[in-house]
C-alpha cells in the first residue's frame, strides 16, 4: 500500500487516541503465561498484532477476535513449535517477548530471531543477561537466524538490568512471574507498557511492588490458571503523532484520551517552542490506573527550543516520540538540535524530510540539526523500514504544498490502525493506493 497525499491544508476536528501497540503486544505475550482463558479488551487491528497472532495460532493457541476488538485467548495443553510461523515471527521484534512465557512451558526450544524496524544495531543483550540471572539461558544461531532457549534451572534472583530496556524489562517480568519466590529487578524500565504488563500480571495473581519505579519486586507463583481480563491502555505515541500533525500544519485539533503522565515533558518542550494548547480535566482509563486528558492543540507561531531535544527513560521524553519533533522543527524559527542517542541507525532517516524542502543536517550518527522555518513542497519518498520515521514523513507531506506519495507504508500499518481514514475525518487528503 502507498499513500497519495494532497498537502498544505489546515486540518480541524477531534480524534481519539487508540490503544497502544506496545502495551497490546506485551499483553499478548503475557497471555501465554496463563493456562486459563485471557480476554484482552479493544485490541488494535494493526500489523504487529496480526503477525503475533499468526505465530500464536501456529503453536496451538486458539484466538477469537470480535468486531469490537475484544480478543479471547486460550492456550493449548502443550505448545508445539514444530510448525511455528517463521515468516510472521521474523517480521517483528516483538517475537522476542515470547522467550520468557514459552520458557515456562518448554525446557528447551528454538525461536525465530526477531527483525522488526531497521533502527541499526539493537542488541537483545539486556534480555539475555537478565534472563540468565533467573536461570533461562538464551543463545543465538546466526546460521539459521534463531534463538535457542534452555530453561531447566529457573530460580528467583535479585538482578540489575544493564539497560533500562522496555522489552528487556517485560521479558524479565514475565520470567519472574512464574518462578516461585521473590525476584527483584533493578534499573527496570518504568514506561507505560511495562506498567500495563504489571497491572495484567497482578490480575493473574502475581504481586508486584514498585510499579512505576525503576525497582520492581515480583512475588512469583509457579502456575497461573485464571480467567483474566486485560485492558491495554491508550497510546501516548499516537497522541504525540496528532500533536505533531497539528503543530506542523498550523491546525487546531482536539486529541482525546491522551495518557498525560507519559506526555508531560513532550508538552513542556512544545510549550518552549511556542505551541499553545488547552488541557482538560483528567479521567481514568478502562484499566482503572492510567490518567487520561483531552488536549486541544492551537495554531501557533513556532520557535526553536532553547535546549536540544533528546529522549530519556520514563518519565523523560519517550524515544518513540522523538521523531515527531522533526516536522515541527521544520516550521520553527531558528535551529533545533535533535539528539537520538538510543539507536545507531535512526537519525539518518530524519534527513528524508529534506526531499520535501526541509533543511536537516546530520552532524553525526545521532544528532540532527534542523534549520527553520522552511516551506515544504510535495515529493515522492519510499517509507523507511522504521515505524516512527515513516509516520513522521507522512506529517511532513500533510504540511507540504502540492501532491506527495509515500511508498510502501507497511511500517506505518505496523503501529497505526486505518490511519488514512482517520486523517480524512480531520480534513486531510490521503488516499491509499496500490
CATH number for 311: 3.65.10.10
Cβ atoms 376, 358 nearer than 8 A: yes
pLDDT in tens, 318-350: 999 999 999 999 999 999 999 999 888 899 999
Residues 413, 348, single domain; the answer is: yes
Rounded CA gap, 386 and 410, in Å? Answer: 9
Last residue of a domain, one of 190, 205, 230: 230
* Same domain (yes/no): 170, 82: yes
Mean pLDDT of 217-224: 96
| Confidence at residue 140, expressed as pLDDT on a 0 to 100 scale | 80
Residue with cell 487491528: 45
Residues 95 and 207 in one domain: yes
Q: Percentage of residues in the chain with pLDDT exceeding 90?
A: 89
Q: How many helices (DSSP H) and strands (DSSP E) are in the chain?
A: 13, 24
Q: What total number of domains does the chain contain?
A: 2
CA-to-CA distance for 198 and 239, rounded, in angstroms?
A: 22
Same domain, 337 and 377: yes
Q: Peptide bond before 221: cis, by omega within 30 degrees of 0?
A: no
Distance between CA atoms of residues 186 and 169, nearest Å: 9
User: Where does the pLDDT of residue 143 fall: very low under 50, low under 70, confident under 90, or very high at 90 and above?
Assistant: low
Q: How confident is the model at residue 119 (pLDDT cuts 50, 70, 90)?
A: very low
Question: Among residues 320, 317, 315, 327, which one has the least CA distance to residue 291?
Answer: 315
CA 272, distance to chain mean position in Å, is 25
* H or E stretch covering 195: helix 192-203
C-beta separation of 162 from 123 below 8 A: no
Predicted pLDDT of residue 49: 96
Q: Residue 127 belongs to what domain range?
A: 21-230
Bridging pattern class, strands 403-407 and 380-382: parallel
pLDDT of residue 116: 47
Q: In the structure grid, which three cell numbers stand for residue 180, read together?
A: 516461585
Residues 103 and 200 both lie in one domain? yes
More reliable by pLDDT, 114 or 397: 397
| Residue 118 and residue 200 share a domain | yes
Pairing of strands 181-186, 158-160: parallel
DSSP 8-state class, residue 289: S
Q: Tell me, yes or no, whether 9 and 121 share the same domain.
A: no
- Average pLDDT score over residue span 23-33: 97
- Among residues 341, 318, 419, 329, the alpha carbon closest in space to that of 370 is found at 329
- Strand 252-259 to 215-220 pairing: unpaired
pLDDT in tens, 93-102: 899 999 999 9
Q: Are residues 167 and 253 in the same domain?
A: no
End residue of a domain, out of 184, 209, 230 = 230
Domain boundary among 198, 215, 230: 230
The residue among 117 and 185 whose pLDDT is bigger is 185
Q: Is the CB of residue 224 less than 8 Å from the CB of residue 207?
A: no
Q: What is the pLDDT of residue 124?
A: 81
State whether 170 and 204 are in the same domain.
yes
The residue among 203, 320, 168 whose CA lies nearest residue 259 is 320
Asked whether the predicted pLDDT for residue 390 surpasses 60, the reply is yes
The pLDDT value recorded for residue 121 is: 43
pLDDT at 273: 98
Same domain, 239 and 374: yes
The rounded distance, in Å, linking the Cα atoms of 246 and 175 is: 41
Same domain? 255 vs 220: no
Residues 280, 139 share a domain: no
Read off the pLDDT of each residue in 37-59 and give the average, rounded to a whole number.
Answer: 96
Question: Average pLDDT, stretch 53-78?
Answer: 96
- Beta-carbon neighbour count of residue 364 at 10 Å? 8
Q: How confident is the model at residue 147 (pLDDT cuts 50, 70, 90)?
A: confident
177 in Cβ contact with 185 (< 8 Å): no
The 3-state DSSP class for residue 292 equals strand
Sign of CA dihedral 12, 389, 276, 292: positive
Classify residue 384 by its DSSP letter. P
Amino acid at each position: 500500500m502507498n499513500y497519495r497525499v494532497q498537502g498544505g491544508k489546515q486540518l480541524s476536528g477531534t480524534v481519539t487516541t487508540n490503544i497502544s501497540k506496545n502495551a497490546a503486544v506485551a499483553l499478548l505475550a503475557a497471555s501465554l503465561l496463563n493456562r486459563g482463558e485471557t480476554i484482552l479488551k479493544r485490541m488494535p487491528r494493526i500489523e504487529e498484532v496480526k503477525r503475533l497472532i499468526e505465530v500464536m495460532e501456529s503453536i496451538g493457541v486458539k484466538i477469537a477476535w470480535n468486531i469490537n476488538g475484544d480478543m479471547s485467548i486460550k492456550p493449548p495443553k502443550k505448545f508445539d513449535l514444530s510448525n511455528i510461523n517463521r515468516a510472521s515471527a521474523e517480521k517483528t521484534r516483538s517475537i522476542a517477548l515470547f522467550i520468557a512465557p514459552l520458557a515456562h512451558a518448554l525446557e528447551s526450544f528454538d525461536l525465530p530471531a526477531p527483525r522488526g524496524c531497521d533502527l541499526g544495531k539493537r542488541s537483545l543483550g539486556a534480555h539475555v543477561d537478565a534472563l540468565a540471572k533467573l536461570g533461562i539461558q538464551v543463545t543465538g544461531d546466526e546460521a539459521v537466524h534463531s534463538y535457542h532457549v534452555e530453561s531447566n534451572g529457573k530460580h528467583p534472583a535479585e538482578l540489575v538490568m544493564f539497560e533500562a530496556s522496555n522489552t528487556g524489562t517485560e521479558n524479565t517480568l514475565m520470567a519472574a512471574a512464574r518462578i516461585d519466590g521473590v525476584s527483584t529487578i533493578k534499573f527496570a524500565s518504568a514506561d507505560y507498557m511495562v506498567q500495563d504488563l504489571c497491572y495484567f500480571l497482578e490480575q493473574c495473581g502475581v504481586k508486584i511492588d514498585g510499579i512505576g519505579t525503576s525497582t520492581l519486586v515480583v512475588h512469583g507463583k509457579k502456575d497461573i490458571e485464571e480467567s483474566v481480563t486485560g485492558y491495554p491502555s491508550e497510546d501516548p505515541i499516537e497522541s504525540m503523532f496528532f500533536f505533531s500533525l497539528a503543530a506542523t500544519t498550523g491546525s487546531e485539533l482536539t486529541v482525546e484520551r491522551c495518557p498525560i503522565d507519559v506526555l508531560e515533558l513532550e508538552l513542556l518542550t512544545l510549550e518552549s517552542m511556542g505551541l499553545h494548547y488547552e488541557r482538560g480535566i483528567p479521567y481514568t482509563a478502562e484499566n482503572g490506573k492510567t490518567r487520561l486528558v483531552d488536549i486541544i492543540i492551537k495554531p501557533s507561531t513556532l520557535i526553536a527550543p532553547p535546549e536540544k531535544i533528546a529522549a530519556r527513560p520514563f518519565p523523560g521524553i519517550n524515544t518513540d516520540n522523538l521523531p515527531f519533533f522533526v516536522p515541527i522543527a521544520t516550521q520553527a524559527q531558528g535551529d533545533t538540535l535533535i539528539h537520538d542517542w538510543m539507536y545507531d541507525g535512526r537519525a539518518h532517516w530524519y534527513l528524508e524530510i529534506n526531499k520535501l524542502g526541509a533543511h536537516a543536517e546530520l552532524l553525526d550518527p545521532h544528532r540532527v540539526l534542523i534549520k527553520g522555518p522552511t516551506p515544504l513542497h510535495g515529493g515522492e519518498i519510499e517509507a523507511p523500514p522504521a515505524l516512527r520515521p515513516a509516520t513522521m514523513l507522512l506529517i511532513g507531506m500533510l504540511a507540504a504544498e502540492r501532491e506527495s506519495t509515500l511508498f510502501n507504508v507497511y511500517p506505518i500499518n505496523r503501529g497505526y490502525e486505518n490511519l488514512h481514514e482517520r486523517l480524512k475525518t480531520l480534513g486531510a487528503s490521503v488516499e491509499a493506493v496500490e
